[in-house]
Copies of this chain bind each other. A is one copy, B any other.
Amino acid sequence: MTTKTKTKAASKLPLNQIIDGDCIEVMNSLPAGSVDLIFADPPYNLQLRGDLHRPDNSKVDAVDDAWDQFSSFAAYDKFTQDWLKAARRLLKPNGAIWVIGSYHNIFRVGAALQNQGFWVLNDVVWRKTNPMPNFRGKRLTNAHETLIWASKEEASKYTFNYDALKVLNEGIQMRSDWVLPICTGHERLKNEDGDKAHPTQKPESLLHRILVATTNPGDVVLDPFFGTGTTGAVAKKLGREYIGIEREEAYRKVAAKRLSKIRKFDKESLQVTPAKRSEPRVPFGQLVERGMLNPGDELYSMNNRHKVRVRADGSLIGDDVKGSIHQVGAHLEGAPSCNGWTYWCFKRDGKKVPIDLLRQQIRAEMAERPN
């Protein structure tokens, strides 16, 4: 739901800023329960593939030294647990988090999320259209990265704009595998030397889909590993409030410059296809009160197998059953539930018409004359 009025906690937030500092310390300094969504692109722990060094700087000879290996994973796990804990504290009860990673770190991140009480909603595969090949031919082309989408807790009523995503995917429900190109060309930020400004800049298309899917305009989106600010750029375009945390001066500078040039899309274009669930509820009885249907009128089931009559209070009566449009439909079909609105029809000029048409009429009137 769109937050028009800021909550007390949110009013203290440093919105649309890039904060300098260690993300754990910064997050702990912000008010608890104030953020709608966190997007995190943490370090992938790639150093594990290189040489391992002991604290005294001597090189670990072989990796048959299980203790050293474990200690290295343990350090990464500690770091992961700490920033996730700080992130979870910041989230509103219905808040959610996205984390992106590769096989080097995503298993440890996923397990830590579950251990801390986050509730995994989906894992999403970003399938790269143009990945870097495996030059040595020793493994499969590493052509994807993994994202985890999790709510703060199992009971959270997380935001998911199902219908908007279905439209985005040409009328078919969005899947857990997303085909998107990596960040290249004009979108890839360069520093003064012409080198890429950040080694792992994510494409805006990825953040676009994430923010359209799991936030609403006005929501607060925090990114603890802000980098060049892709999360902020897309959030600003889409009319979401962002908070970026980044400890590297160079990245903050690039991100600030980038964000200053971004303009928000106009308000109307930010509207997405609304969920049917959000439409106003119309009691069936109102159709009778308004004379659109009359007591005694006959209704026919969609499959023509059943006939019932309307009563003055908006209940239905059949041969051996009475109750609401839903209850009677469910009973006659032997089904656990039934949407009476789409199940029952009346006859107009000899033709069967779903009663939902009458509901749509009422809703159209309500939209014309609100309240």
For this complex, 22 residue pairs linking A to B, each with C-beta atoms less than 8 Å apart, are A73-B115, A103-B123, A106-B107, A107-B114, A108-B111, A110-B110, A110-B111, A122-B140, A125-B127, A127-B127, A133-B173, A140-B176, A141-B174, A143-B177, A144-B177, A161-B313, A167-B314, A168-B283, A168-B313, A187-B291, A265-B296, A265-B312
Bound state CA distance, A268 and B298, in angstroms? 12
At the interface, yes or no: A75 with Cβ under 8 Å from chain B?
no
At the interface, yes or no: A346 with Cβ under 8 Å from chain B?
no
Residues of chain B within 8 A of A290, CB atoms compared: 180-181, 205
At the interface, yes or no: A338 with Cβ under 8 Å from chain B?
yes
At the interface, yes or no: A139 with Cβ under 8 Å from chain B?
yes
What is the oligomeric copy number? 2
At the interface, yes or no: A189 with Cβ under 8 Å from chain B?
no
Interface residues on A, range: 35 or more
Q: Which of A170-225 contact B (CB under 8 A)?
A: 170-171, 173-177, 180-181, 187, 204-205, 208-209, 212-213
At the interface, yes or no: A7 with Cβ under 8 Å from chain B?
no
Q: Are B123 and A146 in contact (CB under 8 A)?
A: yes
Bound state CA distance, A339 and B104, in angstroms? 32
Residues of A bordering B, CB below 8 Å = 51, 53, 57, 62-64, 66, 69-70, 73, 102-104, 106-111, 113-115, 117, 120-125, 127, 129-131, 133-134, 137-144, 146, 148-149, 153-155, 160-165, 167-171, 173-177, 180-181, 187, 204-205, 208-209, 212-213, 237-238, 265-266, 268-273, 281, 283-286, 288-291, 294-296, 309-315, 317, 322-324, 333, 335-338, 365-366, 369
